Structure 1
Amino acid sequence: MAPRTPRFAYGYGRLWAATAASGFGDGTRTAALAVYAATLTHDPFAVALVAMAGKLPWTCVGPFAGALVDRLDRWRTLWICDVARVLVTGALVLLILTDRAGITALAVVSFLLTSITTLAENLSQAVVPDVTGGGSLDSANSRLMGGQLVSSEFLGAPLGTALFALGRPVPFAVDTLSFAVSAVLVFSIRLSGARPAPTAAGRLTARAVVAETADGIRWLWRHRVLRTVCVLVGALNFAVVAVLSIAVLYALNVLHISQRAYGLLLAVLAVGGLAGVLLAPLVTRAIGRARTLQLAFALCPLPFLIAGLTSLPLLAAGALAFVGAAISLATVVTTSLRQSLVPGELFGRVNGGYRFVVNGVSPLGGVAGGALAEAAGLRAPFLFAAALLAAATVTALLRLSPAALDAAGDDRPAPRTGQAVAAERTEAPERT
């Protein structure tokens, strides 16, 4: 990663710190939550249910959250999201202390936290251009994602399992504190450019939110390149969640490692993710966004196949590290692509539609992973993921060529609503 320079605007450092703080707590909570669920039951489907509940809001909440992003004061709402997550994680701590945190409670908390996150992450992506300044979007997104990944996977995940051994409520109390720190940092950022565009103003009603959400989904679907990217990344997410939903049982019963070692295994897997985040700007500058996306998908099938066939912990972790790298490459490039191609006034609702597909398939992936593991064993989800992503790789090679991405800026569909027409008239030049 290149050394930090003054080219980023005021507030970028605080946004980076807030993202890293909340990421640390998320990593701590996610690892501890998986282990907690596995201590309550050995039923693969019940464990996968907790993971599925954490993904379901992307389908039923996420799209509508995007419309709100285009209407609200983005920085203030991001702060409110952190405060809300403090309250939810604090409630989980109380449930654990009173011995009332069963599988159902874990699933409900996962659902609530992700419901808030659907809005918070959309807001976070929407405000990045506000603090990018003269820097590139690829570099800004890479550094943000890199900080979040290090704090979440390298620090939070191993600490989560270690703290769980000290006491069940401890890692979740740390998560609560992390959101409080993030809230303070976000609250300190004041940018006039963070406020919604005038075209997004107006009376906020359920009908308006639904209509604007539909506008965003239609805009996305009529954009050929973004539509293809959305479907392929959705397939990647489906496959990854199918595996992650039973990963803790796979680690304990197939790789035969301890609960504490499971946290270390997550850290090894994150090495690939960090490499992908750090290398994304360099790879993109060297071979372009199209080839980088094709490379990301091509990295996935063989590692999943290896992990599905081996019983060696280090071999499985080493193979899946390449999947982590692929996910990071795809995330950085596709985020920058959306920020470049989608008009700022429409970003929230279009991004909401994109994430509706990409993250909305996650609950199905969790169900598929649990069902496959229950029917055919804990290796089956890995083999399924390898086959699905082999098909996605072929599609990426055919549909995401450099020529297709070069022409993507001219492929912006004409909006159908009066509000969207006004947005198009004030559309900013494409960022590079």
Structure 2
Amino acid sequence: MWSATALANLGDGIRQAALPLLAVSTTTDPTLIAGVAVAGQLPWLLFGLMAGAVVDRVDRRRLVAVVDAGRVVLLAVLVAAVAADVVGLPLIYLVAFGCGIGETLRDTAASTLLPALVDRRDLDRANGKLINAEIAGNELVGPPLGSYLAGIALVVPFAVNGGTLAVAIVLILALPSMFAPRAAPGRARILAETGAGLRWLARHRRLRTLVGLASLFSFVDSAWFAILVLYVTQVLTLPAAAYGLMLAVGAVGGLAGGASAARLGRLMGPGKTLAGSLLVATAGQLLLGLTSSPPATVAGLALGSFAFGVWNVISLTERQKNTPEEMLGRVTSTARTMTMVAAMLGALAGGVVASLLGLHAAILLGVPLLLAAAVVSVVTFRV
């Protein structure tokens, strides 16, 4: 499971860096280039909530394998088009959109496999390892590797992505056959099942609050991250290459958070750990928003990413422990969809605030929100 997760996310990181580079070979229009990222994220808005209902109806192991096989086919078509020099923007958008649909299903299904594979007491440690595999693949190793491979030849990163997914399929199918739904799904429609999942979550105070706080954290985090490149080049007056180094600092901080989360959670309990991660994130944003020096920025990025890593592990573990197995797909997809939408809105808010009040104001925007979220977290998880 861990190996399949690491390979799949490494491939995702490679593809996310290589697709815009491939698009640049066909056009220099900024709007069209940005459309590649939009095409990849749009499936979460269109299908994210329904993905959970699909996951709860089928064998989750087989679903992950089928979805990854579909992405391998899409990448094979792209590889053939690039090799034949007939690739165009419509195909690039199609691959980004198709892989995005696959991610909504695969990521939701993969998150529901873990509770059946490890003891309930070990969920936090296992989640920490899986989340670190995601961070390493998507943020630390995948993007620079994708850029490097594209420099060799534009066809190479997509071939490597297809290869990593193919191996991940074999690994997933090697898992025991124990992920079929306990009851037959019947004739209930996907929309009806999605609505039932939303109503169940709305009635569960603890999980409802947790998903809301996670969305708030995602909103705040995206608000400053969206303008980080401008902060690095305009406030710190560093060269553009330093932006990549700052991203690496953030990824390392996230890895440290994921590795430490289980120990912190067992030491302090989920409520205090969640609240503590929000307070650490607040400290990180204060360093970024009240100072203008590279060392303070490095410290702020490391703290913020560390806090986000801890939060992700503990919140995911709490969702898995408090959600019935037959609802896990829908609760997971709802949480992921809400955080994705919150991240998009946060990026938009950060850009607007930065243009009106300055870059520091956009970073400090989240400080009162994080402090309020910390209080709510303590109250919600005090038992």
1:338 aligns to what?
Answer: 319
Partner Cα distance (2:263, 2:197) in 1: 31
Query: Kindly tell me: are residues 384 and 129 of structure 1, through their superposed partners in 2, closer, same or farther at Cα, counting changes over 3 Å?
Result: same
Percent of pairs with identical residues: 34
Query: Kindly tell me: are residues 251 and 21 of structure 1, through their superposed partners in 2, closer, same or farther at Cα, counting changes over 3 Å?
Result: farther
1:107 Cα deviation from its structure 2 partner: 4.8
The unaligned stretches of length 5 or more in structure 1 are 1-14, 408-432
What SS does structure 1 have at the residue aligned with 2:176?
coil
1:197 aligns to what?
Answer: 182
Contact 1:300 1:386 in 2 (8 A): no
What SS does structure 1 have at the residue aligned with 2:13?
helix
2:380 aligns to what?
Answer: 404
What SS does structure 2 have at the residue aligned with 1:202?
coil
* Matched AA of 1:300: A
Contact 1:63 1:349 in 2 (8 A): yes
What SS does structure 1 have at the residue aligned with 2:116?
helix
Partner Cα distance (1:131, 1:27) in 2: 26
1:280-429 to 2 correspondences below 5 Å: 280-304=261-285, 306-307=287-288, 315-368=296-349, 375=355, 380=359, 383-387=361-365, 389-401=366-378, 404-405=380-381, 407=383
TM-score, normalised to structure 2, is 0.86
1:73 aligns to what?
Answer: 59
* Range that drifts further, 109-118 or 337-346: 109-118
Query: Kindly tell me: are residues 265 and 160 of structure 1, through their superposed partners in 2, closer, same or farther at Cα, counting changes over 3 Å?
Result: farther
User: How large is the RMSD of aligned CA atoms in angstroms?
Assistant: 3.1
* Matched AA of 1:386: L
Query: Kindly tell me: are residues 34 and 278 of structure 1, through their superposed partners in 2, closer, same or farther at Cα, counting changes over 3 Å?
Result: farther
1:165-184 to 2 correspondences below 5 Å: 165-184=151-170
* Matched AA of 1:399: V
Provide the aligned length of Structure 1 versus Structure 2.
380
Partner Cα distance (1:335, 1:27) in 2: 22
TM-score, normalised to structure 1, is 0.77
1:7-406 to 2 correspondences below 5 Å: 15-33=1-19, 41=28, 43=30, 49-97=35-83, 98=85, 100-102=87-89, 106-133=92-119, 135-192=121-178, 194-198=179-183, 201-203=185-187, 208-245=189-226, 256-258=238-240, 262-304=243-285, 306-307=287-288, 315-368=296-349, 375=355, 380=359, 383-387=361-365, 389-401=366-378, 404-405=380-381
Contact 2:58 2:181 in 1 (8 A): yes
Contact 1:216 1:351 in 2 (8 A): no
* Range that drifts further, 308-317 or 116-125: 308-317
Contact 1:52 1:363 in 2 (8 A): no
1:293 Cα deviation from its structure 2 partner: 0.9
1:168 Cα deviation from its structure 2 partner: 3.1
Contact 2:285 2:367 in 1 (8 A): no
| Higher-helix-fraction structure | 2
The C-alpha deviation readout for 1:3-46, integer Å capped at 9, x for no partner, is: xxxxxxxxxxxx01000111211222233446666885584x66
Contact 2:289 2:363 in 1 (8 A): no
Partner Cα distance (1:76, 1:272) in 2: 34
Query: Kindly tell me: are residues 252 and 99 of structure 1, through their superposed partners in 2, closer, same or farther at Cα, counting changes over 3 Å?
Result: farther
Query: Kindly tell me: are residues 258 and 358 of structure 1, through their superposed partners in 2, closer, same or farther at Cα, counting changes over 3 Å?
Result: closer
* Matched AA of 2:218: N
